[in-house]
Amino acid sequence: MTQAYGQRIMSDMKANLHNRTNRLQSVLILGFDGVLLLDVAGPAQVFASTNKVLGWKAYDITVATKDGADVITDTGLSLRADASFGTVIAADILVVPGGPGVDQHLDDPAIQQFLMRIEPKTERFVSICSGSLLTAAAGLLNNRKATTHWERTDQVRRHFPNIAWQLDEIFTHDGKFHCSAGVTTGIDLAISLVEADHGRRVALGVAREMVVFMQRHGGQSQYSAPLKAQVASSKRLGALYNRIEEDPAALWTVKRMSEVAGTTERTLHRDFIQEFGQSPSRFVEYRRLGIARLYLEGSRKSIKEIAALSGFVSEQNMRRSFVKRLGILPTEYRERFGDTSPTRLADRESAALNF
């Protein structure tokens, strides 16, 4: 389960990391033409910010490319290479980023051979977003749990059937192999690794330094459906989505949603399944979960108040949704992910109100 991700890291790595916090670790990032810049920059910034928060260099970051030459990212900007594949001997943490260039490199023997060679000499093997496909193409994820971006669902199931794809998870962890589902969840994953190495206080410090949340919770369907809604091909669904966003606490029954959309309940259900992969009711529930999570993470409001503001009406309804969708009680979520320091409360309450 995603909600146990951090706990699993701590449990599985306890022995390995017992004396790790005082030693320099090498972070090697794979570079190739068409790599997504944020897949590289996000995790790299997490490790660099950790050095700043700690006040000493805990992570040494290097980019390696096939021949040691610079590569062109998806933005058109160049990414400087520090090493070639042939000069790399080992790495504490290997990061395989994704990007639009992944598809043209899936059958690249140089990348496959490098990943297979370096894997036994890597302590933690991290795949970001569609970078999981490169790791999969090298045969390193066979019979393992893994995730990738929701847009790659059909592709990975078709081309890599021997992998236990957990495509609603935003993180997976199987032995030394870690995968994140998307671009920004790569940042979350890197922060989780920092927490495993240096503790929650340091990880929180890094999250504050970068102005990001400590960790996301739940499956990626809670992100994919809203993102799809913003670019819904149906104008009536786009208009309905905007109304739900404006007033998530309203009584959004399927009947009312169909009236707002100007269609029948049956047609609305079919359109939501086709467009978002969710029923109308499930869609609304995830929007309310997102708002409730923001309040729990960064406000002192009571559970009762949060249930009302997010549209669950009652504490019992909110509790039931949290347990069913996230596998955790609202109170437990707040204890684990809440940050009620004065410097963060205003930002997070504002974010919840403008969700």
- Using the Cα atoms of residue 70, residue 71, residue 75 and residue 76 in order, give the sign of their dihedral: positive
- How many domains are contained in the chain? 2
Does 192 fall in a domain? Answer: yes
The Cα–Cα gap between 313 and 162 comes to: 44
- Give the mean pLDDT of 213-222: 51
What percent of the chain has a predicted confidence (pLDDT) above 90?
54
Could you tell me if 6 and 77 lie in one domain?
Answer: yes
Tell me the per-residue pLDDT of 138-176, one tens digit each, with 9 for 90 and over.
Answer: 999 999 999 998 889 899 999 999 999 988 788 889 999
pLDDT per position as a tens digit, 22-32 = 789 999 999 99
- Let me know whether 180 and 280 are in one domain: no
The identity of residue 206, as a single letter, is: V
Token pair belonging to 90: 């080992």
**Domain closes at, from 210, 229, 255:** 210
| Helices 280-298, 342-353: crossing angle, 10 deg rounding | 160
pLDDT value at residue 41 = 96
What's the rounded Cα separation, in Å, for the pair 242 and 248? Answer: 10
Reported pTM: 0.63
Cβ neighbourhood burial of 23 (10 Å; 0-12, 13-18, 19+) = exposed
Instruction: Report the C-alpha gap between 95 and 82 in whole angstroms.
Output: 15
| Tens digit of each residue's pLDDT (9 = 90 or more) over 5-49 | 444 444 444 433 433 457 899 999 999 999 999 999 999 999 999
Q: Does the pLDDT at position 273 exceed 80?
A: yes
pLDDT (0 to 100) of residue 306: 94
Tens of pLDDT along 309-320? 999 989 999 999
Please check the confidence at residue 101 and state whether its pLDDT lies above 80: yes
Q: Which two tokens stand for residue 43?
A: 């995790």
Q: Are residues 155 and 237 in the same domain?
A: no
User: Per residue in 276-310, pLDDT tens?
Assistant: 778 999 889 988 998 898 888 888 899 999 999 99
Q: Do 226 and 200 share a structural domain?
A: no
Whether residue 183 is contained in a domain is answered as: yes
Same domain, 188 and 230: no
Are residues 178 and 269 both part of a single domain?
Answer: no
Average pLDDT over residues 334-352: 56
Does 181 score more than 80 pLDDT? Answer: yes
Return the pLDDT at 235: 66
Q: Are residues 83 and 229 in the same domain?
A: no
> Given this model, what pLDDT does residue 215 score?
55
Whether residue 107 is contained in a domain is answered as yes
Task: Give the mean pLDDT of 329-342.
Answer: 75
Residue 337 lies in a domain: yes
- The C-alpha angle 294, 280, 284, rounded to 5 degrees, equals 15
The DSSP result for 12-56, as a single string, is HHHHHHTTGGGS-EEEEEE--TT--HHHHHHHHHHHHHHHHHHTS
Res. 350: pLDDT tops 80: no
Q: Which of 180, 210, 240 is the last residue of a domain?
A: 210
Picking from 59, 60, 82, 87, the residue whose alpha carbon sits closest to that of residue 71 is 82
- Cα 189 to its chain centre, rounded Å, is 7
Please give the residue that has the higher pLDDT: either 220 or 140. Answer: 140
Closest CA to 119 of 133, 139, 98: 139
Residues 294 and 328 in one domain: yes
- Mean pLDDT, the chain, integer: 84
Q: Which of 164, 182, 210 is the last residue of a domain?
A: 210
In a shared domain, residues 206 and 344: no
In a domain, 55, yes or no: yes
Strands 25-30 and 59-65: parallel
Could you tell me if residue 216 is inside a domain?
A: no
The CATH number of residue 132's host domain is 3.40.50.880
The answer, yes or no, to whether residue 63 has pLDDT greater than 90, is yes
Q: What is the pLDDT of residue 165?
A: 93
Residue-wise DSSP of 309-344? HHT--SHHHHHHHHHHHHSS-HHHHHHHH----HHH
| Torsion of the alpha carbons at 109, 111, 114 and 118, rounded to the nearest 10 | -140
Q: Is residue 22 part of a domain?
A: yes
Task: Let me know whether 141 and 28 are in one domain.
Answer: yes
Give the model's pLDDT for residue 3.
42
Q: Are residues 37 and 186 in the same domain?
A: yes
Give the HSE-up count for residue 53: Cα atoms under 13 Å, Cβ half-sphere: 23
Nearest partner of 275 among 289, 288, 263, judged by Cα: 263
Q: Could you tell me if residue 313 is inside a domain?
A: yes
Same structural domain, 34 and 159: yes
Decide if pLDDT at 229 tops 60. no
Torsion angles phi and psi, residue 188, rounded to 5: -60, -45
Residue 223 pLDDT more than 60? no
| Per-residue confidence (pLDDT) for residue 214, from 0 to 100 | 56
CA 223-226-228 angle, 5° bins: 105
**pLDDT tens per residue across span 237-255:** 878 887 887 888 889 999 9
pLDDT at 353 over 90: no
Average of per-residue pLDDT across 121-141: 97
What pLDDT is recorded for position 103?
96
Amino acid of residue 88:
V
Q: Which range of residues forms the domain containing residue 332?
A: 221-353
pLDDT at 65 over 80: yes
- The CATH code of the domain that includes 281 is 1.10.10.60
